[in-house]
Amino acid sequence: MFSGFMINTWVVASIVAAVAGCVGFFVVIRGSAFAAHALPLGAFPGAAAASFIGVNQFFGLIVFAGLGIVGILQLGRRGRPDVATALSLVTLLGLGTLFLSMTREYSQEVYALLFGQVLGIGAKDFAPVAAVGAISVAAIVTLFRPLLLNSLSPELGNARGVSDRRSELCFLIILALATTVTLPVVGALLVFSLMVGPASAARFFTDRPLHAMLISMGVALVTMWSAIALSYVSNWPIGFFVGSMSAVCYGVGRTWAWVRLSKRQATLAADLS
């Protein structure tokens, strides 16, 4: 499990989990789970395009993620954000189908991008993942307060000069970068599981935003590490463990919140009596 070829897996997966937990905090509080699901699905055909023209798949992922951002913002200006996200997704998937039809040697890569291939990570994947992950986390740290203010109270944010449109653009760019990092590892169909599950659970454990984001990162790391270990010993897909454990984490968080609320109500009832 900790042999030479697995070192890259542990390191890259840890970076991916930390980034997903960090960005996932804002995905949850902004109610952007659909965008977190649509952007990686819309970006993965970019890897097919990159393969077709002979460049690194990360460039294709970033370009198609950027096209998804433009589509969501432009179509959402005069319409519903969820409809704009869906229309952008189907357009990018249509382009992806076209590029996939032009190449005959991409079936294994498509499977990896859809469902993840963390055990197949090589040394060449470390540098781009680390670079894009560092940029994503640095952007979150830099924009933490304005993003938080806009997410929790857009009206108050506008009063303090935090533009809704600018905040949405910055968040979508960060989300696109994060999904570009996580997609090759956990797959397009499970990126949102790693982002939404740990972050949703973290909100039940604390009311402090910074603490919740750190807990989200910790839960995402534990989820990823456990999924790698279980996938290694069972030979089952890592995506199954990531999705299942994310759901379990959310359930544990809700149970914790319910127990804490019950204790508070019992204490209050005892004081009143």
Whether pLDDT at 214 is above 90:
yes
pLDDT digits (tens, 9 = 90+) for 61-72: 888 888 877 777
Whether pLDDT at 21 is above 80:
yes
**SS3 assignment, position 199:** helix
Report the distance separating Cα 272 and Cα 151, nearest Å. Answer: 37
The alpha carbon of residue 154 and the mean position of all alpha carbons in its chain are separated, in whole angstroms, by 23
Amino acid at 122: G
What mean pLDDT comes out for the span 224-252?
86
pLDDT digits (tens, 9 = 90+) for 83-125: 777 777 778 777 777 777 776 655 566 666 776 666 666 667 6
Domain with 161 in it: 4-272
CATH of the domain at 249: 1.10.3470.10
Amino acid at 82: D
Whether pLDDT at 76 is above 70:
no
pLDDT on residue 5: 62
pLDDT digits (tens, 9 = 90+) for 114-164: 766 666 666 676 777 888 889 999 999 999 999 998 888 888 778 788 888
pTM: 0.83
Number of domains in the chain: 1
The helix, strand and coil proportions of the chain, stated in percent and rounded to the nearest 5, come to: 85, 0, 15
The alpha carbon of residue 100 and the mean position of all alpha carbons in its chain are separated, in whole angstroms, by 24
